[in-house]
Chains A and B, each alone.
Chain A
Amino acid sequence: MSADTDKFVRIIRDLDRLLVPGAGEKFWSARAIFSEMDSAFLNGWSHYRLQEILDDKEFLVFRDRNSLTINVTKGYAVSLAMIDRPPSGLYLHPQHYMARNVGRVPATIHRYKPDRPLQNDVYDPNARLELLDVIQLQPGEALERNGNTDVLDWKADGEMAFVLRLHSESVGDYEWAFDRETLAPKGVTVLDRFSSQMTTAMQMLTALGAPVGRDFIETGLSSPQFHVRWETVKMISQLSPDLVREAIERLKEDPHPAIRRAIEKSAVVPSQKAGH
């Protein structure tokens, strides 16, 4: 192995040790490690993965939109973002990150913040983004994003910019999208992997029309994510109408305001959908 590959392996090992799941705000203690994540680190990663291609081994680089994964665990992720055109919207993504421009050209970043405190899982259509500042990030320079409050809009002028990012674990389950023109929210996307799969499975079971056991329903109703609890109610209204009243009674005092509102509005749901 080359010195750069050694560096890549050592840094990943250090991150694995420091950023365990549940690290929370301790993420910021990885600043010292991130300061070492430079072009030598990237070269080490390149060498390591090239050897995997050459040796026909399992290749652990994935592409998600314009990013390549360098390493992903439950506690953190390292990625390489390829910046050219900005995306269609502005996104408040609930993950902190430290980012370094590792390309050859500067990148321009517009930094926005919401005009009020937002609770990640409570949608507020009246919130608006406010432009805070515009930053020119020169090659080698770094900046940080607070996943609770910062919306960073990256742009490269001409040539593609490359940005190395160290991401924290999620600090929320929902990504908010904002309109570029009005700076108003235009929807949220569920990020949490397991809850996405839970709701997909519930939609599948509903489409299948095969009744499910009480333990599965219990898992859904006691989910920490409000969208899973709500999907459970929708599923049992189709598959087990006799259990709907009980579920609605239980969710009347749900901690999430959207569930409480929906329960109030859908007091007639069981009788309408029963027997479907």
Chain B
Amino acid sequence: MAYSFEARDDNGPIAVEDVIEAMRKAYKGNNGVDAMQCVAEKFQSLAANREFIRDALVAELKRIAEERNLGSFAPQSFIIHRAPPFSLRLNLWLPSVGTSRKVEQEARIYSYGRAHDHNFSLLTAGVAGPGYRTRIYEYDCRSIEGRAGEHVEMTFLEDTKLTTGKVMIYRPHHDIHVQIPPVEASMSLNLLIEEKDIVETPQYYFDLETSALVPMNDNEVGRRVSFLEAVGHFANEDCAGVLFDVARQNRDPSIRAAAVQAIRTGFPDRQPEIERLVAADPHPLVASETNTPLA
């Protein structure tokens, strides 16, 4: 199950550099969860340091005011410390109140009510407020192919809250959780690792009522898939070669499958080549592309 460390009263003062240093010692490049367990108590102490969090937040706000890059931003969170490959992210969790548009928008931003897994290790601590509620399940990512609607065997683990002082570690590709808005504004602090997996492995939503998989289109893989799905409608011969290369070479089966779909949409006369390409790809997600009706 996700690892939990209950709140302590004996949090001594600790500097952010000490937490990062401990993480550097513990992290070997592929042991995110283990490393996070090693630093969890230090992280708990850091999350209790309100002055550090306040000063880091105000400093980040000043930095943002001068920033020009508009690529993307999450209005409810701030990266308050960067020490590659590690970073600390502060999140605000709000109760579901206000207009339906606001509630709908916040539910989308916060993934409220949407069960999902992570493709990265996540160490999180409750910093203020009563905390969001979360129901946690686990599944075996090796047992799924990644198809929309695919049945997923999942086991309920616990129903808990990220209260102030509590620390939790979510295991990548293993823990599924659904967040329920807190009754009052709450905050959490995350420790993140820039793991290459974030781009290379898929992350999913899950329909808990039907135990079915729902592809995620707003993460690194999902936005590439969305792009490829659209490209099929515009691509001319200039693009065909690159599309075939993506379909053959990309490491992610969802991206290869989306490239195959784009070729089928844009170049239906190249069906024999598509069939050869699919026959050479061992992943069932790609194989299913020859049978799926086009959008």
Whether A186 and B101, one on each chain, are in contact in the complex, defined by CB atoms closer than 8 angstroms, is: yes
Size of A's binding interface in residues, CB under 8 A: 54
Report B215 CB to chain A, min CB distance, Å. 12
Whether A208 and B234, one on each chain, are in contact in the complex, defined by CB atoms closer than 8 angstroms, is: no
Cβ contact of B224, chosen from A46, A53, A200, A216, cutoff 8 A: A53
**Contact code string B240-277 (vs A, CB < 8 Å = 1, else 0):** 00110110011000010000000000000000000000
Whether A207 and B128, one on each chain, are in contact in the complex, defined by CB atoms closer than 8 angstroms, is: yes
From 43 to 62 in chain A, residues with beta carbon under 8 angstroms from any chain B beta carbon are 43, 46-47, 49-51, 53-54, 59-62
Whether B70 and A59, one on each chain, are in contact in the complex, defined by CB atoms closer than 8 angstroms, is: no
Report A93 CB to chain B, min CB distance, Å. 12
Cβ contact of A210, chosen from B53, B105, B235, cutoff 8 A: B53
Whether A212 and B58, one on each chain, are in contact in the complex, defined by CB atoms closer than 8 angstroms, is: yes
A37 on interface, CB distance cutoff 8 Å: no
- With a cutoff of 8 Å between Cβ atoms, the chain A residues found around residue B224 in the complex are 53, 59, 61
From 1 to 60 in chain A, residues with beta carbon under 8 angstroms from any chain B beta carbon are 2, 4-5, 39, 42-43, 46-47, 49-51, 53-54, 59-60
- With a cutoff of 8 Å between Cβ atoms, the chain B residues found around residue A213 in the complex are 58
Whether B98 and A201, one on each chain, are in contact in the complex, defined by CB atoms closer than 8 angstroms, is: no
What's the count of A-B pairs with C-beta under 8 Å? 149
B50 on interface, CB distance cutoff 8 Å: yes
The stretch that binds A, out of B73-81, B143-151, B153-161, is B73-81
Whether B233 and A104, one on each chain, are in contact in the complex, defined by CB atoms closer than 8 angstroms, is: yes
- With a cutoff of 8 Å between Cβ atoms, the chain A residues found around residue B71 in the complex are 60, 62, 72
* Complex alpha-carbon distance, A50 and B241, angstroms: 10
Whether A200 and B75, one on each chain, are in contact in the complex, defined by CB atoms closer than 8 angstroms, is: yes
Whether B78 and A201, one on each chain, are in contact in the complex, defined by CB atoms closer than 8 angstroms, is: yes
The stretch that binds B, out of A127-135, A188-196, A256-264, A266-274, is A188-196
Q: Which residue on chain A has the smallest CB distance to residue B94?
A: A203
* Complex alpha-carbon distance, A54 and B227, angstroms: 13
Whether A207 and B185, one on each chain, are in contact in the complex, defined by CB atoms closer than 8 angstroms, is: yes
A74 on interface, CB distance cutoff 8 Å: yes
Asked if A43 meets B243 with Cβ closer than 8 Å, knowing A189-B105, A200-B75, A207-B187, the reply is no
A82 on interface, CB distance cutoff 8 Å: yes
Q: Which residue on chain B has the smallest CB distance to residue A196?
A: B75
Whether B242 and A47, one on each chain, are in contact in the complex, defined by CB atoms closer than 8 angstroms, is: yes
From 225 to 257 in chain A, residues with beta carbon under 8 angstroms from any chain B beta carbon are none
Q: Which 10 A-B pairs have the closest CB atoms?
A: A187-B99, A207-B128, A210-B54, A50-B242, A2-B238, A210-B50, A196-B75, A42-B234, A177-B101, A46-B231
Q: Please list the residues of chain A having a beta carbon within 8 angstroms of any beta carbon in chain B.
A: 2, 4-5, 39, 42-43, 46-47, 49-51, 53-54, 59-63, 68, 72-74, 80, 82, 88-89, 102-104, 160, 162, 177, 186-189, 193-194, 196-198, 200-201, 203-210, 212-213, 216
